[in-house]
């Protein structure tokens, strides 16, 4: 059975709720999944998983701004080697800002820098939108994982 880790940083709980839905979607597809708040996660443990999912809310009107708890974890990822691991990013933001979900962009860039294979475009959830099918996105990640995309 493939395993996955979902690490998230959430200010208001929206990104946490999305992370929980991702976990449900992955478990529905028979993945063994660990869910961690970024404050309880370490960069070193990522190498123990077949699939890595990192999520952060975006705060402020800066082009790319991580949720405050995710900053330290993100910085520790620099120079870390996860070559060949499968990964994807997700996050919540507010489409009223000029730069929507810039934290997802930052996470995707860092994941590529450290050698992971990004399976799919990151999930960007508008805090104003309750219609996003997070489980369907998770199922698509699983399909791509199985195909080795």
Q: Which domain holds residue 64?
A: 3-147
pLDDT band at 127 (very low <50, low <70, confident <90, very high): confident
Whole-angstrom distance, CA of residue 28 vs CA of residue 4: 13
Whole-angstrom distance, CA of residue 145 vs CA of residue 149: 6
Handedness of CA 27, 144, 138, 117 (dihedral sign): positive
| pLDDT score, position 129 | 67
For helices 14-28 and 134-147, the axis angle rounded to 10 degrees is: 50
Phi/psi of residue 74, each to 5°? -60, -45
Tokens of 130: 């309750």
Q: What is the Rg, in whole angstroms, of the alpha carbon atoms belonging to the chain?
A: 14
Say if strands 51-56 and 3-9 run parallel, antiparallel, or are unpaired.
Answer: parallel
Tokens of 114: 């450290």
C-beta of residue 33 within 8 angstroms of C-beta of residue 27: yes
In this predicted model, what pLDDT tens digit does every residue of 15-42 receive, in sequence order? 999 999 999 999 999 999 999 999 999 9
DSSP type of residue 36: E
**Could you give the number of structural domains in the chain?**
1
Q: What is the CATH number of the domain that holds 114?
A: 3.40.50.360
State the pTM of this model: 0.94
In this predicted model, what pLDDT tens digit does every residue of 52-110 receive, in sequence order? 999 999 876 666 789 999 999 999 999 999 999 999 999 998 888 777 899 999 999 99
Q: How many CB atoms lie within 10 A of CB 31?
A: 21
């Amino acid at each position: 059975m493939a395993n996955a880790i979902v690490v998230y940083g959430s200010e208001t709980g929206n990104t946490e709720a999305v992370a929980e839905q991702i976990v449900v979607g992955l478990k529905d597809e028979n993945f063994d999944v660990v869910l961690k708040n970024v404050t309880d996660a370490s960069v070193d443990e990522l190498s123990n998983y077949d699939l890595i999912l990192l999520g952060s809310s975006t705060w402020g009107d800066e082009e790319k701004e991580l949720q405050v708890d995710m900053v330290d974890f993100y910085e520790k990822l620099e120079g870390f080697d996860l070559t060949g691991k499968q990964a994807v990013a997700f996050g919540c933001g507010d489409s009223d800002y000029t730069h929507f979900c810039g934290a997802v962009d930052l996470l995707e860039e860092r994941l590529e820098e450290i050698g992971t294979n990004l399976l799919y475009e990151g999930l960007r959830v508008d805090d104003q939108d309750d219609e996003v099918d997070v489980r369907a996105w998770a199922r698509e990640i699983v399909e791509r994982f199985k195909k080795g995309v």
